[in-house]
Every structure is written in C-alpha cells, then in structure tokens.
Amino acid sequence: MKYEKLLKSKMSAESFERLAALKNPKVMEFVGFFAEHCDPDSIYVCTDSEEDMKYVRQQALALGEEWPMRYPNHTVHWDSYYDQGRDKNATKYLVYKENLERMKALNSIEYETGIKEILDISAGIMRGKQAVVLFFAEGPTESPFTIPCVQFTDSWYVAHSEYILYRSAYNHFLKMKDSEKDDFFRFIHSAGRLDENNNSVDLDKRRVYIDTQNNIVYSMNNQYAGNSVGLKKHSMRLAINKSGQEGWLCEHMFIMAAVNEEKNRKTYFCGAYPSACGKTSTAMIPGELIVGDDIAYFRNINGEFRAVNVENGMFGIIKDVNAKDDPVIFKNLMKDQEVIFSNVLVGPDGMPYWLGMGVEAPDEGRNHFGKWHRGVKDSDGNVVDIAHPNARYTMRLDYLDNIDKEGFESKTGVKVEGILYGGRDSDTTVPIEESPNWKDGILLKACTLESETTSATLGAEGVRVSNPMANIDFVSYPLGQYTINNIRFVDGMREVPKIFSTNYFMRGRDGKFITSKLAKKVWLHWAEGRIHGEFDAYETPTGRIPKYEDLVMLFKKYLNEDFSKETYDYLFTFRCSKWIAKLERTKAFYAKTDPNTPKEIFDYWDAAIAKIAAAKEKYGDEILPGAYHG
C-alpha cells in the first residue's frame, strides 16, 4: 500500500489497525494522501466507542479549542471574531471544464485552477498539529438513507461537534460490502494557523471548495461550524447533487409530528423556512413532537413518501432562546449535560450568556472578542455585544423531552403527510394556505419563498429576498433542474403529502404583528385536519384557506383565545397586486439564477399571473375570504 509507511510513522499501531481493518482502498488513499499533503505530526483514528468520543472532547479541551465552564459537561468554543458565519464568497464548486457552462450560475471555479489553489493553501497546513480521522453517517446507519462519510480534520472541536451532531459509523464502514466501498463522502478540513486564542488567523486564505464530481470537500482556515463541519452544509451540497442524479431529495427542512390527542393520531410534517422565518419554533411547537430541525432526506420507499433526519443533534441559534419562548431548549441548555456553546459570553460565574436570554448578563467575561467588558469597542469602533447574534449551541436531540423517539430512531424514516413552506412578508401571504396538489405547491409555495429583511439584518428594511425551498444556498446543480426534480419526486407514489404555505409575519395597518407567536399551533392543526379530510375550505387563486368558524374553534381549543372576524378577514384577504408582484420577483430570480430553467416553469407562472389578474378584474384587488369562486 502506497501510504503504509507514512501512515505508520504518524499513527499508533492501534490507529493504523483501525484503518486497515476497513479494507477500503479509497479510505486509505484519502487518509494517506492528506496525511502526506497536510503533514500533521500525528493522526488519531476514531471508532464508535464511548472512549473515543470522550477522548475527542478531552482533546478539544486540552488543546484549547474548547474551554471548561461551570458545569462539568458544558464547554465553550469561540470562533475568530471574523469567522462568525458561513463564508459564501469563499465557498465554491470545483467544476470540470466541460461542466462549467452548465454550472456557471453557481459560485464555481474551474477544476484545475481551483484544485491547484486549494492544494497550495493546504500544503503542510497541519504541521505541528494532531489530526483526527472519524467515520459518520448522514441519516441512520445501515438504512436505505445512509450516506457514509469520512472526516479528516485538525480541529478537535469539529470532531467533537460531529460526535454530537451525527451518528458514528465506523462499524457501518466495517460492514460495507465490496460493491459499496467506493460510495461515501470525504471531508478534509484544517483550521490552519492559530493565534493565542486558538483562532484561525489566515482568514484571507479561508476556502470551502466543493467537488460534487468526486464527493469531496476541502475546507481550510476556518472554524465556524457552518464552514468547518463537513457533515453539515458541505455534505448537504454533495447530497443535493447526488439525490438529483439518483431521484431522491435532500431538503433544508425540519421534521416534526403534529399530535392530535382527541383523534389519537400523529401526523408528520416537514418544513422549509429561510432563516428568521420561524423554522425552529415551528419544529418545537409546544405539545407536538420533533424529529429533526435542519436537514431531511426524502425517499420513495415502496410507494411511500418517507423522510429521515440526517442529523443526531442540533446546531441551533441561541439568540432569543429563553425560558418563556423556548422552554424546552432553555431548560436543556441550563442542565449539566453535554453542550458546546459557541460565541456566547462566559461570565465570571462560568455560565453562558447570550442575546435575548431573558437573564441579566454580567458586565464582564470572555466571548468571541476575547476578554470582554460592557462598552468595549472592536477595531472598527463598534461596541461589542455580549454575544454574537449567530452564537450557537451544539446538543444531542434526544435530550429533548419532546423528541419523537419512534421517528428519530426509525431506519426507514417517517411517512410524511404534510409539507410547510414558510416565508416572511408583512403584507402578501396569508398565515396558512393549502395547495390543491403537489406541483402547484412546488411552483407557487416552494419556489416563491421569500424572507423580508428586518431591522435586525444588515441593509435596507423591508427588502424581499428570494429563497426557493429555503435551500438556495445549498442547491449544487442548476436551480431549474432541481425544481423539476422536486416536482417529479412524487411520481408513482401511492399518497402524496399536502403542501401548505405559512407566514407568521403579517402586520396590521398599524405596522404591528397581528397574532401571537403561538398562533402557528392553530395553523398547523388546521393543516393536520385538512390532511385527514376534516375542514372545509375557501378557494383562492393560489390555493385553499380556512373558514372562520374552524379557526375560532382551533384558537379556543389550543390557545384559549378569541379570534375575531375582523382579524380573520384582514389576515386571509387575497391581495392580487401583491401576489402578482411576488410572482414577478420569483420569475426574475429564476431568470437570473438559472437562465436555463425550463420554459414550462415560466409558462406556469405566467398562467398563474393571468389567473390572478382575471380575479382582480372580477373581484377587485383585495378579495375577502369566501368571495372568490374562480
């Protein structure tokens, strides 16, 4: 074996034996090549054992990538002040010359040029460091959904995060048949040179280069998990490409179950929401059950639409998690159980503090800025907040007492009956609307998803940003084809999930939100009822909406609130011009993002616009619920 001597010189006999036992030449080649190229001092090979998990955590602490806190099972990790989110500009697809034309709408770089650049950047990058090789699965192991993955990294924080977030799969690799041994994802990562705080310093050489042609991702000079953790968003891009070729789907969706106690039934929903549109809070509605909060794989299994949570844990935004709004998560973060906090403040009491925590923070401590005190300014003269708005927690999902154990552990996933596409706009989309069928749902609900900028985001307020399927950052082949694949996915299925749109952000004439945060429970249960044929609905030019009396009943039942006819009429008015404008924005976004989008898609939207224009002609620009009859 080409790299045997080299690997033996960098590994203990035990680590080498673990690698050799896999009898997988492609794994050997991958580890050997980067052992030589990145040149770490030593390499540790992990299995699925409890001892290895503990060792990785202990190493992250010993090497100063994580720090102890007041509770023994808590640790904190800080990313560089300038490495606090996904670096979209430096994230590129490595594309063979012959594929460049097809991929030109994506942020891509010609393969030979890109591979040379990334190999130059990574040459000798691990010198002086201890690297680690780990095996994980996307989805449950040994299931029809499993995608085996190998991670090679010099960050023990990345390794530790992955043990929490994914299912360990060394045994899965051991059991792979010869015919399967070629088919897995590879991730090579280095945090690069570190400063005295153990933060990546060469951020000008931060790169994430994705090669969907060979299922490998190169990530260099970063630590923020969205940039560094291979199994998260890098893997998602590889999976979206792979699923496109194989006829399944990888979606940026939660999975949850709506629980109807009266009827003794559990109905599984998946949901896609751009950030800050209510994704986690929908997945965590009190009284319902959660299966996953970020990424789902969909497969047609014996004619059924089935989904698994790709992950085992949550890398959740901690901002605004507080005892009132997110009691389940808050309680778990405050317990002495394994959590990695990132980019929060740790006070003199060793406890974590963050924005919107609902607890008074101390005046000093340590955060992503370093030593921090109230009022301290960064080098640009900006006051540094107690924590970064993108500060996060990394935690196993099965700590949550609202976990749906049955769905979470199932090797064949759960049968999905409803899909929610949730956007954010202040004046167009009604709180809940059912699509008459799958195709209309994809083209009118999924493709048109937008989020509206708020005062909390950079730039102008009130700008609508298109984000089809809430997946636009990760769609790794042309958007038009991806859209067609979404439409075709259900072909031949016995039952097809109902698609709904949601919008929790409609504002009244006074500019204030109209319903409380918990109203989403009512919209969910209306959808749940519709799936089981229970409520009547009114037609609109884009779908079907609830009747007033059903919502009155649901508001009373679930929230003990009175729901006024005036609020109903306002919320569920169909606004023709606003909808036409939304469809025009969607068309423009597709034309710009993927000029090769099939004409049939644009024709469909033109027909939808014509239908709405005719409705406007007949009923006026604002159509009250119940008034529209085609």
**Which residues are catalytically annotated?**
277
Q: Which stretch binds ligand SPV (CB under 6 A): 127-135, 172-180, 226-234, 425-433?
A: 226-234
> Judged by CB under 6 A, which of 87, 251, 294, 528 binds ligand SPV?
294
Closest separation in Å from C-beta 233 to ligand SPV: 4
- Give me the amino acid identity at 116: K
Cα–Cα distances in angstroms (integers) from residue 223 to residues 32, 138, 196, in the given order: 23, 21, 15
Distance CA 422, CA 256 (A): 14
User: Among residues 237 and 575, whose Cβ is nearest to ligand SPV?
Assistant: 237
Of residues 275-294, those binding Mn ion (CB under 5 A): 294
User: Among residues 294 and 311, whose Cβ is nearest to Mn ion?
Assistant: 294
Checking phi first, is residue 543 left (phi over 0); if not, alpha (psi -120 to 50) or beta? left
Checking phi first, is residue 171 left (phi over 0); if not, alpha (psi -120 to 50) or beta? alpha
Question: Is the sign of the CA dihedral 447, 451, 452, 458 positive or negative?
Answer: negative
Checking phi first, is residue 505 left (phi over 0); if not, alpha (psi -120 to 50) or beta? alpha
Is 314 near ligand SPV (CB under 6 A)? no
User: Among residues 315 and 563, whose Cβ is nearest to Mn ion?
Assistant: 315
User: Among residues 199 and 467, whose Cβ is nearest to ligand SPV?
Assistant: 467
Alpha helices in 221-296 (DSSP H): 225-228, 235-246, 279-283
Closest separation in Å from C-beta 215 to Mn ion: 20
For residue 399, how far is the Cα from the chain centroid?
Answer: 19
Is 232 near ligand SPV (CB under 6 A)? yes
Distance CA 452, CA 450 (A): 7
Is 225 near ligand SPV (CB under 6 A)? yes
CB 222 within 8 A of CB 208: yes
Burial class (CB in 10 A: 0-12, 13-18, 19+), 562: exposed
Residue nearest ligand SPV, CB atom distance? 226
Partner whose binding site includes residue 365, from ligand SPV, Mn ion, none (CB under 5 to 8 Å by kind)? none
User: Among residues 154 and 294, whose Cβ is nearest to Mn ion?
Assistant: 294
Question: Is the sign of the CA dihedral 145, 150, 155, 156 positive or negative?
Answer: positive
Site size for ligand SPV (CB under 6 A): 8
Residue 355, SS3? Answer: coil
Of the candidates 471, 481, 484, the one whose C-alpha atom is nearest the C-alpha of residue 438 is 484
Partner whose binding site includes residue 99, from Mn ion, ligand SPV, none (CB under 5 to 8 Å by kind)? none
> Judged by CB under 6 A, which of 74, 86, 319, 445 binds ligand SPV?
86
Q: Which stretch binds ligand SPV (CB under 6 A): 124-132, 225-233, 238-246, 349-357?
A: 225-233
Partner whose binding site includes residue 315, from ligand SPV, Mn ion, none (CB under 5 to 8 Å by kind)? ligand SPV
- Do the strands 498-503 and 414-423 form a parallel or antiparallel pair, or are they unpaired? parallel
Residue nearest Mn ion, CB atom distance? 294
User: Among residues 275 and 300, whose Cβ is nearest to ligand SPV?
Assistant: 275
Is 368 near ligand SPV (CB under 6 A)? no
Closest separation in Å from C-beta 274 to ligand SPV: 9
Which residues make up the interface to ligand SPV (CB under 6 A)?
A: 86, 225-226, 232-233, 275, 294, 315
Provide the binding-site residues for Mn ion, judged by CB under 5 A: 294
